[in-house]
Amino acid sequence: MAENEPGLDPIREDARLETLDERLQRARTEEAVRSGETRDKGEADYNLGNRVLAELIGGMAGGALIGWVLDRFLGTSPWLLLTLLFLGIVVAFRNIIRISNQRSK
């Protein structure tokens, strides 16, 4: 039997092992993103956009609501509403500029 086999041929890498390694790496990456060990870049951008939108809407709505309530109590019809609405917009844009100047993590 040894006469029929002149030497051992090197074993080829099985293609199934390569695809298994690729699938394992992909599964590890997805698990790390799911568990929060690594952050997905798209998720961070989405959260930043939501924060900017909340600042803008919150500043305008908060200023308008407080101005309207004070106008009702003090009887200064549209003046406090307009003033505090403008002030809310200014504060919202200041916060948005501060958010955009922060360093990314």
Q: Which has more confidence, 11 or 30?
A: 30
Is residue 33 in some structural domain?
no
Burial class of residue 87 in the structure, from the number of CB atoms within 10 Å of its CB (0-12 exposed, 13-18 middle, 19+ buried):
middle
Contact 56, 104 (CB under 8 A): no
Predicted pLDDT of residue 93: 95
Domain presence at residue 82: yes
Whether the pLDDT of residue 98 is over 90: the answer is yes
Mean pLDDT of the chain: 84
Answer yes or no: is 4 within a domain.
no
28 occurs within a structural domain: no
Q: Which residues of 48-85 are buried (b: 16+ CB within 10 A; e: fewer)?
A: eeeeeeebbeebbebbbebbeebbeeeeeeeebbeebb
The 10s digit of each residue's pLDDT in 36-78 is 766 667 778 888 899 999 999 999 999 999 999 999 999 888 9
Q: Report the number of distinct structural domains present in the chain.
A: 1
